[in-house]
């Protein structure tokens, strides 16, 4: 196998591993079907990884006999990064715990650094409470590191084995016996139990373990690192009295690059400090480790977590609220000092926790040795002040302050939610005040998720969970009120918010499902399926006319979203049908409510999506008509403050689309950059008048408007006017991507920015700058294609970037480099066209890729390939006579 083929198989393997997270086993079949020439090798590699237990859901029942110098004996366990085997390092004849890294983890951006970081951090930690690493390397393409084989069990396993025991029957000896039984069940012969660690009361044994972990943690912190995943399953106990801290896979050390990760990726939810829910990686401080150890101590003392709600969302909200049940209420045998020390370590405010792990360890020793402790219990005034400060990630502090001051239905909703998540408990009260309850849910969940949290980085997951919990509340509240129109309308609106959030995250299938479920709350299934067909006459169906205006507006929003989603996926016929139906509903609503600004914005949005769809299909006149009508609608309204942002966003969207259409930037073939400039400048002026502040979606919209204006100027060869616009955009877009790394819309715009920078450099005659910009564009677009495998626009834009870079390489007399880029551009262009066969834009772009590939193949001496390329380019123009003419026209050149 050649190096090139091996590299390609590795790329396909990584693609399959990433896709399998969403598609499961179907991902392998899909990739093999798309690349039959590599299917055999790909299946073999997949089977090897499966056999070794390196696939996330694979049990790894078969085990390889060897890996490099290691002979593998049995699997010990697995985690987020990989799997751990018991192995023998044969040259030294010693048993080790061998950790193998899952390939999908290793090759994702930044995670190779994460693996190396774990090795580097642990290698410099020398402490009896930290499992040492002996060696690391790579064998058969699989990275590994070998650690000391510790004979024992995790603290989590021991606690789990005792969870059905009454706390008043447990003591230190119980913990030791449980450990011994676990080891014997694994076929091990335990060493004698340490008399100090496994003696005395249950409280004493748990405090001793926590103190030893705190000692190890202090060593970690003293060397500029944080563990970031402290929990009982990462603490190993041995019968001989060793307490060892494991798994530094999430650790961060001073001098290492901080990888972008969400809050829940930075540890296990029950052990996350409240500040982690807002700040993500930036909040991963030593105080967060101390908090996690405090939670672990609570779990050990009470045999249950302090916040053991039934869902991750409920757990996160309880953590943010910061009011755990006192440990002594769950274990009456605990001392007051043990409770105080535990609660101080897990205080919701980092400033009120122990300042260092050393201080925590000292206070644990104070309890064990019956000395006065430094910690002090919170008094009534402090507890009341904390109640006013509690919030899920600080973004909702004002809402919770309102709870305390005003009370009312919002306070009721919060209290009911935090005290009893069983929806049956709410429904009885909801019957008495359904309208107030629905309003409370809307204020507490949906508005917070859409407004406050949308401004904060790393909160996408939490926003979705809040919205989904709002849906759960709404379903419960209307369970016995099936005919309440307002309840169903609000539920449909929440579905639309969930769908749009999923769209921003690139999770298109889930977004479509959410929208369809929203429609189903308002229309019977049969009516919902048939409704878009009425769009042939832009009409409403009888079932839709029977809805009240607010319900029809909510329904139209869902249709509008589905049309946008279909357009994004290249499903132009479906998008056009949904858009026209939305327009029909919006026109009817405007006729009934001519003063309604939301109805006007709905119509403008639907017209914009229809115009975008028609432009993609090459229907330029129809597209221009839709865009111009959308602008007229927007110009006719002066929105109130609460709708100004939405109006500004739509103004930007229409200005961008019409500007791109008139410049030909979207492949329309029109070349009127002067008119485009006037339209975009007008849109930008209105946008800036309407909006203020730092709402991320509007910051993004402003960048896109400036980029479009820059394009109109570059097409008029006015680079000095375009440059400042792009200079403003670059740091803003980079900041958006860094703050919201999972938002694929922001990432796509950032990728396109580098194409614009290259265009600027090219107009200025700066070939080096153009090459640098296009290489950056290819790199960022490639990452986006991996994140959005079903997006034809991302594939097509990657192909365009490759094509543009190739044309410069041809000018630089580098036909081999150009050919490699163009061969790739054709592959990506074909994939985009396959996903969106009705798109004239993607077809014409692909024709251009083949045309330039003709040049590159000819210049590299592949004349047969050049003939095929020019024929394919011509065939895509849908004209047999033109195809024959172009091939004939280039025949003499090829013959020569």
Check residue 790 and give its pLDDT: 72
Handedness of CA 719, 723, 729, 731 (dihedral sign): positive
Nearest-angstrom CA–CA distance, 754 and 773: 5
On the question of pLDDT at 527 being above 80, the answer is: no
Strand order in the sheet with 70-78: 66-67, 70-78, 82-89, 94-101, 142-148, 133-139
In this prediction, residue 558 has a pLDDT band, given cuts at 50, 70 and 90, of very high
Residue 228 pLDDT exceeds 60: yes
pLDDT for the residue 696? 80
Nearest to 22 by CA among 495, 457, 506: 506
Return the bridge partners of 148, or none: 96
Are 681 and 709 spatial neighbours (Cβ–Cβ below 8 Å)?
Answer: yes
For the chain, give the number of residues.
Answer: 896
Residue-wise pLDDT for 619-638, tens only, equals 889 999 999 999 999 989 88
Q: Is 152 exposed, middle or buried (0-12, 13-18, 19+ CB in 10 A)?
A: buried
Mean pLDDT of 490-517: 80
Q: How high is the pLDDT of residue 282?
A: 52
Based on the number of CB atoms within 10 Å of its own CB, is 822 exposed (0-12), middle (13-18) or buried (19 or more)? buried
Q: Tokens 């909702």: give the residue.
A: 396
Q: Is the pLDDT of residue 469 over 80?
A: no
252-273 tens-digit pLDDT:
443 333 333 333 334 577 898 8
Residue 436, CA distances (Å) to 410, 451, 572 in order: 8, 21, 42
C-beta of residue 611 within 8 angstroms of C-beta of residue 575: no
Query: Which range has the worst mean pLDDT, 22-31, 151-160, 328-337, 598-607?
Result: 22-31
Give the pLDDT confidence of 54-70 residue by residue, as tens digits: 554 444 445 668 888 89
Check: CB of residue 107 under 8 Å from CB of residue 115: no
Question: Which stretch of 157-171, 474-488, 765-779, 880-894 has the lowest confidence by average pLDDT?
Answer: 880-894
CB distance 492 to 521 below 8 Å: yes
pLDDT at position 410 over 60: no
Rounded to whole angstroms, what are the CA distances from 556 to 239, 376, 584, 831? 66, 57, 9, 32
Q: Which two tokens stand for residue 558?
A: 């869902």
Rounded to 5°, the CA angle 321-327-332 comes to 150
DSSP-derived secondary structure letter, 324: P
The listed range with the strongest mean pLDDT (173-187, 254-268, 839-853) is 173-187
Of all residues in the chain, the percent with pLDDT exceeding 70 is 71
R_g of the chain computed on alpha carbons: 31
For residue 146, the SS3 value is strand
pLDDT, average across residues 424-430: 42
State the Cα–Cα distance between residues 562 and 32, nearest whole angstrom.
31
pLDDT digits (tens, 9 = 90+) for 674-715: 999 999 999 999 888 888 666 788 888 899 999 999 999 998
DSSP letters of 284-297? Answer: -SHHHHHHHHHHHH
Is a pLDDT exceeding 80 seen at residue 184? yes
In this predicted structure, what is the pLDDT of residue 193?
Answer: 94
Helices (H), 521-640: 525-530, 542-545, 549-568, 572-592, 597-616, 620-635
pLDDT at 512 over 80: yes
Give residue-wise pLDDT tens across range 749-781.
Answer: 888 888 888 888 888 888 888 888 888 888 888
Contacts of 711 (CB under 8 A, 6+ apart): 659, 660, 663, 665, 673, 722, 756, 759
- Kindly report the backbone phi and psi dihedral angles of residue 89, in degrees, each rounded to the nearest multiple of 5, phi listed first: -85, 95
Q: Quick one: which H or E segment has residue 94?
A: strand 94-101
Distance of CA 893 to the CA centre of its chain: 51
Do residues 227 and 250 touch, judged by C-beta distance below 8 A?
yes
DSSP state of 447: I
Q: What is the pLDDT of residue 105?
A: 52
On the question of pLDDT at 876 being above 90, the answer is no
pTM score, whole prediction: 0.48
Using an 8 Å Cβ cutoff, are 776 and 536 in contact?
A: no
As a whole number of angstroms, the distance between CA 787 and CA 744 comes to: 8
| 736/553 Cα distance (integer angstroms) | 31
pLDDT exceeds 70 at position 471: no
Q: Which domains does the chain carry?
A: 3-51 (no CATH), 63-148 (3.30.200.20), 150-376 (1.10.510.10), 391-521 (no CATH), 537-637 (1.25.40), 810-896 (1.25.40)
Annotate 754-780 with b (16+ C-beta within 10 A) or e (fewer).
bbbbbbbbbbbeeeeebbebbebbbeb
Site of tokens 């290259």: 758
In the chain, what is the greatest distance between 2 CA atoms, to the nearest angstrom?
99
Q: What whole-number distance in Å separates Cα of residue 602 and Cα of residue 616? A: 21
Q: What is the distance between the alpha carbons of residues 731 and 750, in angstroms, rounded to a whole number?
A: 10
Contact assessment for residue 96 and residue 137, using Cβ atoms and an 8 Å cutoff: no
Please state, in angstroms and rounded to a whole number, the distance separating the CA atoms of residues 239 and 184: 12
Q: Which residue has the tokens 């589905």?
A: 562
Q: How far apart are CA 162 and CA 153, in angstroms?
A: 13
Contact 67, 49 (CB under 8 A): no
The confidence score (pLDDT) of residue 114 equals 56
Residue 626: its pLDDT value, please?
A: 92
For the ranges 11-25, 296-310, 814-828, 847-861, which has the lowest average pLDDT?
11-25
Q: What's the pLDDT score for residue 757?
A: 87
Rounded average pLDDT over 178-200: 93
Collapsing DSSP to helix, strand or coil, 233 comes out as: helix
pLDDT at 585 over 70: yes
| pLDDT band at residue 240 under the 50/70/90 scheme | very high
Answer yes or no: is pLDDT of 331 > 90: yes
Q: Do the Cβ atoms of 64 and 72 come closer than 8 Å?
A: yes
Least Cα distance to 137 among 69, 202, 191 occurs for 69
Considering the chain, what is the average pLDDT of its residues?
A: 77
- CA distance linking residue 133 with residue 743, whole number of Å: 37
Q: Is the CB of residue 728 less than 8 Å from the CB of residue 722?
A: no
Span 558-566, mean pLDDT? 91
pLDDT at 143: 74
- Which pLDDT value is given to residue 395? 35
How far apart CA 825 and CA 869 sit, in angstroms, is: 13
* pLDDT, position 196: 93
pLDDT band, very low/low/confident/very high, at 160 (cuts 50, 70, 90): very high
Band of pLDDT at residue 399, cut at 50, 70 and 90: very low
pLDDT of 443 reads 45
Is pLDDT above 50 for 567? yes
* Nearest-angstrom CA–CA distance, 612 and 614: 6
110 or 835, which is more confident: 835
Cβ atoms within 10 Å of 148's Cβ, excluding its own:
15
User: Is residue 318 a contact partner of residue 311, using CB atoms and an 8 Å limit?
Assistant: no
For the cut 60, the answer to whether the pLDDT of residue 889 exceeds it is: no
Residue 822, pLDDT > 70, answer: yes
CA dist., res. 777 & res. 801, Å (int): 6
Task: Give the pLDDT of residue 538.
Answer: 58
Cβ neighbours around 60 below 10 Å, total: 18
Give 635-641 contacts, CB < 8 A, sequence gap 24+.
Answer: 636/600, 637/597, 637/600, 637/601, 639/597, 639/601, 639/690, 640/597
């Amino acid at each position: 196998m050649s190096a090139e083929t091996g590299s390609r198989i590795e790329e396909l393997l990584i693609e399959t591993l990433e896709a399998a997270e969403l598609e499961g086993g179907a991902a392998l079949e899909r990739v093999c079907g798309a690349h039959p020439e590599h299917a055999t090798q790909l299946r073999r590699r997949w089977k090897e990884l499966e056999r070794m237990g390196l696939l996330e859901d694979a049990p790894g029942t078969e085990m390889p006999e060897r890996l490099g110098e290691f002979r593998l004996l049995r699997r010990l366990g697995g985690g987020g990064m990989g799997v751990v085997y018991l192995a023998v390092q044969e040259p030294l004849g010693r048993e080790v715990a061998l950790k193998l890294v899952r390939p999908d983890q290793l090759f994702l951006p930044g995670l190779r650094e994460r693996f190396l970081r774990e090795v580097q951090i642990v290698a410099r930690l020398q402490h009896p409470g930290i499992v040492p690493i002996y060696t690391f390397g790579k064998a058969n393409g699989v990275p590994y590191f070998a650690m000391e084989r510790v004979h024992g069990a995790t603290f989590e396993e021991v606690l789990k084995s005792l969870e059905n025991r009454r706390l008043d029957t447990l003591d230190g000896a119980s913990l030791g016996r449980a450990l011994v039984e676990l080891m014997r069940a694994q076929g091990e012969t335990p060493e004698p139990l340490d008399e100090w660690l496994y003696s005395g009361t249950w409280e004493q044994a748990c405090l001793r373990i926590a103190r030893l972990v705190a000692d190890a943690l202090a060593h970690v912190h003293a060397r500029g690192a944080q563990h970031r995943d402290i929990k009982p399953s990462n603490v190993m106990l041995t019968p001989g009295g060793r307490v060892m801290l494991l798994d530094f896979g999430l650790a961060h050390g001073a001098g290492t690059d901080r990888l972008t990760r969400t809050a829940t990726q930075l540890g296990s939810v029950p052990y996350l400090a409240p500040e982690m829910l807002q700040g993500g990686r930036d909040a991963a401080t030593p105080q967060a480790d101390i908090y996690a150890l405090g939670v672990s101590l609570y779990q050990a003392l009470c045999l249950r977590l302090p916040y053991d709600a039934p869902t991750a969302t409920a757990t996160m909200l309880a953590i943010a609220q910061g009011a755990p049940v006192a440990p002594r209420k769950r274990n009456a045998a605990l001392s007051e000092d043990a409770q105080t020390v535990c609660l101080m370590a897990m205080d919701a405010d980092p400033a009120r926790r122990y300042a260092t792990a050393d201080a925590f360890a000292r206070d644990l020793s104070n309890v064990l040795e019956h000395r006065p402790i430094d910690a002090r219990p919170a008094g009534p005034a402090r507890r009341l002040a904390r109640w006013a400060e509690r919030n899920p990630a600080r973004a909702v502090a004002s809402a919770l302050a309102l709870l305390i001051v005003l009370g009312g239905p919002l306070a009721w909703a919060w209290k009911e939610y935090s005290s009893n998540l069983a929806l049956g408990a709410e429904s009885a009260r909801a019957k008495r005040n359904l309208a107030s309850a629905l309003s409370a849910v809307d204020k507490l969940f949906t508005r917070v998720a859409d407004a406050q949290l949308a401004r904060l980085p790393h909160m996408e997951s939490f926003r979705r969970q809040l919205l989904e919990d709002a849906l759960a509340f709404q379903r419960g509240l209307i369970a016995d009120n099936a005919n309440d129109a307002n309840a169903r309308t609000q539920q449909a609106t929440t579905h639309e918010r969930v769908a749009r959030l999923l769209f921003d995250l690139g999770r298109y299938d889930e977004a479509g499902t959410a929208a369809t479920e929203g429609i189903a709350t308002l229309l019977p299934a049969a009516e919902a399926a048939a409704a878009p067909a009425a769009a042939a006459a832009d009409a409403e169906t009888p079932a839709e006319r029977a809805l009240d205006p607010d319900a029809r507006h909510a329904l139209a929003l869902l249709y509008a979203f589905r049309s946008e989603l279909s357009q994004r996926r290249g499903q132009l016929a479906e998008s056009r049908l949904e858009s026209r139906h939305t327009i029909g509903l919006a026109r009817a609503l405007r006729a009934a409510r001519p003063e309604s600004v939301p109805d006007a914005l709905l119509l403008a949005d639907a017209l914009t999506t229809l115009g975008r769809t028609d432009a993609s299909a090459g229907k330029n006149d129809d597209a221009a008509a839709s865009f111009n009508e959308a602008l007229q609608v927007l110009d006719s309204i002066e929105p109130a403050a609460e709708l100004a942002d939405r109006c500004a966003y739509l103004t930007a969207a229409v200005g961008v689309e019409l500007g791109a259409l008139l410049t030909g930037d979207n492949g329309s073939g029109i070349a009127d950059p002067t008119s485009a400039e006037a339209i975009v400048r007008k849109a930008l002026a209105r946008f800036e008048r309407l909006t203020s502040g730092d709402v991320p979606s509007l910051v993004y919209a402003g960048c896109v408007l400036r980029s479009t204006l820059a394009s109109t100027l570059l097409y008029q060869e006015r680079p000095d006017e375009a440059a400042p616009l792009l200079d403003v955009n670059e740091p803003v877009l980079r900041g958006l991507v860094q703050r919201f790394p999972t938002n694929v819309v922001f990432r796509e715009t950032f990728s396109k920015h580098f194409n614009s920078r290259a265009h600027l450099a090219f107009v200025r005659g700066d070939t080096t700058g153009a090459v640098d910009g296009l290489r950056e564009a290819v790199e960022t677009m490639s990452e986006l294609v991996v994140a959005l495998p079903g997006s034809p626009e991302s594939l097509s834009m990657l192909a365009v970037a490759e094509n543009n870079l190739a044309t410069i390489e041809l000018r630089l007399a580098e036909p081999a480099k150009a050919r490699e880029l163009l061969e790739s551009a054709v592959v990506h262009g074909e994939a985009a066209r396959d996903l969106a066969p009705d798109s004239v834009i993607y077809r014409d772009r692909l024709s251009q890729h083949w045309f330039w590939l003709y040049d590159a193949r000819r210049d590299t001496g592949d004349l047969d390939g050049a003939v095929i390329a020019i024929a394919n380019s011509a065939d895509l123009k849908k004209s047999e006579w033109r195809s024959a003419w172009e091939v004939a026209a280039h025949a003499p050149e090829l013959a020569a």
